[in-house]
Structure 1
Amino acid sequence: MILVLGATGKVGRALVPALLDAGARVRALTRDPARARVDPRAEVVAGDLDVPADLPRLVDGVDKVFVLTSGHGRDGVTREAAIAREAARAGVAHLVKLSTTGVHFGQTDPISLAHAESEEAVRQAGPAWTVLRPGTFMDNRLAWRRSVVEFGTVHAPEDDPVSALVHARDIAAVAALVLTTPGHEGATYPLTGDEALTTGQQVEVLAAALGRPLEFVQEPEAAARERMLSFGWPRSAVDGVFDLKRQSAGNEGVVFDTVRTLLGRPALTFADWARENAHLFR
């Protein structure tokens, strides 16, 4: 039995069916099973990682855990350390932790530091472990949806870094492989797409998928901050994003061949993602 945390998130919603297709039994964690859209073949369980009393029940009878929480900063570290400790007590054999390439590059922004601490908690818990470190998700470009739909524009901060964006489905495919085949224990895998694109190139790819031109607007950091705050983002989260962007400049464009090597096929492209999600931008 494989316990998947974050089963309804960007990676989890692709990972659950991938594991089931591989013949694994899956327990998918969600706060609200009645509203969750989870593959009906999975065992869907309600639970809250912030409630310690829930943890023994969640890992009971589980062999492996995909460790991914929605918390950031200290919240994420606390949740992932707690599930790792409980998994060890329950005799879980393998923990697979979803991290970030920021840790690979030794970045000290709050997001990367929190993941680095969580990685260490997973390594020290006792069970075998594997760490996946994806770069920037293609799904992050859904943040452009509102301005594209309403105004035909994409706003991005000046000096937005070149990025080797990774498709969430590729991350899920690697996670499924690691969780269902031997030989990955003790491995750390950085994950990116096969191509590094500027933000302007990404806008061109999306425009081609939509069949209409898009205006690319580069804005000063202050304006970008205000725009993000207007979406309801906490100021601490906005600060974290810009700290991450500053430290990842020069790193985000690094291409790793891990997806191609492990899966035996090219990584999915941003053009693939744009075509799949074009309906969301119309």
Structure 2
Amino acid sequence: MIVVTGATGTVGGEVVRLLAGRGERVRAMTREPSKVTVSPEVEVVRGDFDDPGSLAGAARGADAVFLLSAPGPWLARHDEAMVVAARAAGGRKVVKLSAIGTGEEHGGARVGDWHRAGEQALRAGELDWTVLRPSSFASNALRWVAQIRLGRPVPNTTGRGRQGVVDPRDVAEVAVRALTADEHVRSVLTLTGPELLSVPDMAKTLGETLGRPVETVDVPLEAYRTQLIAAGMDAEFADVAVDGSRLVARDGNARLTPDVERVLGRPPRTFRTWAADHLR
């Protein structure tokens, strides 16, 4: 039995689908089971990281856990609670979705810090573990759908800064390998796409895929922070988002790794492939 937390998200949902397709016993954990639609062979259970009883139920009888929680200052608490539940239930392995750069010094940027305690808890414990640190997801481009449909430029807070943009489907495939085999136990895998891309690079690719130009407009970081707070984001979240944009703008996340190909035996998908597969 493999428990998948974050089972309704972009990566978690794909992990559930892939595991079920392999014939694995899958238990999808979510706070609202009534809103989940999955194949009949997948067990759906209620689980809340702030409700230890629900985590104990979700982990009961499970051999492995895919640990994914929404980023935020609560992440350390959530990770620890799920690890405790998995250990108490006799589980053997946890695969944690972290973030690229966790634990590194970034000259003031706090990107990835929320994941640090969870990673440390896994390393210090007796469970087998694998940590996945993906770069920026290709699916983040979906935030631009409204502007593109209206023919407006997409906002750019990172200038010409480049990242190893990764297809979340590749991240999910790596997670499934880590959950179902032991080659990557006690490993940290940094997952990137095959090329370094800036927001203007991605916009150009989207325009070529759509058959019409997609422009960008630079957004100063102070204006970006103001926009986030005006949209209801907590100031701490806004500061972390701004820190992340500043880091990327100075090419602080301009890195590529061979980890996707090493695990999957094939090159990672390109952003162009992701765009073509999600053409709307």
Give the TM-score band, short-chain normalised. over 0.9
The aligned runs of 1:37-116 (5 Å cut-off) are 37-73=37-73, 75-103=74-102, 105-107=104-106, 109-116=109-116
Residue 143 of structure 1 aligns with an amino acid whose one-letter code is R
SS in 2 for 1:246: helix
Report the equivalent of 2:205.
205
Residue 167 of structure 2 aligns with an amino acid whose one-letter code is H
SS in 2 for 1:103: coil
Report the equivalent of 1:246.
246
Query: 1:31 deviation in Å?
Result: 1.3
SS in 2 for 1:34: helix
Structure 1 window deviating more from structure 2 (98-107 vs 260-269): it is: 98-107
TM-score of the aligned structures, taking structure 2 as reference length: 0.93
Q: Distance in 2 between matches of 1:130 and 1:112?
A: 16
Q: Output the aligned Cα RMSD.
A: 1.7
Query: 1:156 deviation in Å?
Result: 0.8
Q: Distance in 1 between matches of 2:142 and 2:256?
A: 22
SS in 1 for 2:279: helix
Residue 101 of structure 1 aligns with an amino acid whose one-letter code is I
Q: Distance in 1 between matches of 2:14 and 2:277?
A: 14
Query: 1:230 deviation in Å?
Result: 4.2
Residue 52 of structure 1 aligns with an amino acid whose one-letter code is P
The aligned runs of 1:1-282 (5 Å cut-off) are 1-73=1-73, 75-103=74-102, 105-107=104-106, 109-157=109-157, 159=159, 161-248=161-248, 249-279=250-280
Q: Distance in 2 between matches of 1:235 and 1:103?
A: 21
| 1:24-73, Cα deviation, whole Å (9 max, x unpaired) | 11000011122113333211111211112212111110000011112412
Q: Distance in 2 between matches of 1:144 and 1:204?
A: 13
Residue 100 of structure 1 aligns with an amino acid whose one-letter code is A
| 1:181-217, Cα deviation, whole Å (9 max, x unpaired) | 1221111100000100121111000111111112211
Residue 182 of structure 1 aligns with an amino acid whose one-letter code is D
SS in 2 for 1:11: helix
- Paired residues in the alignment total 278
SS in 2 for 1:242: helix
Q: Distance in 2 between matches of 1:224 and 1:204?
A: 22
Query: 1:103 deviation in Å?
Result: 1.3
Query: 1:168 deviation in Å?
Result: 0.6
Q: Distance in 2 between matches of 1:102 and 1:90?
A: 31
> 1:104–1:133: 8 Å Cα contact kept in structure 2?
no
SS in 1 for 2:154: strand
> 2:97–2:133: 8 Å Cα contact kept in structure 1?
yes
TM-score of the aligned structures, taking structure 1 as reference length: 0.92
Q: Distance in 2 between matches of 1:101 and 1:53?
A: 31
> 1:163–1:253: 8 Å Cα contact kept in structure 2?
yes
SS in 1 for 2:96: strand
> 2:103–2:112: 8 Å Cα contact kept in structure 1?
no
| 1:105-152, Cα deviation, whole Å (9 max, x unpaired) | 444644411111110112223211111110111111222122222233
Q: Distance in 2 between matches of 1:158 and 1:58?
A: 40
**Which ranges of 4 or more aligned residues in structure 1 deviate by more than 6 Å?**
none
Which blocks of at least 5 consecutive residues in structure 2 are unaligned?
none
> 1:77–1:118: 8 Å Cα contact kept in structure 2?
yes
- Note closer, same or farther for the CA distance 1:32–1:160 as it changes in structure 2 (3 Å cut): farther
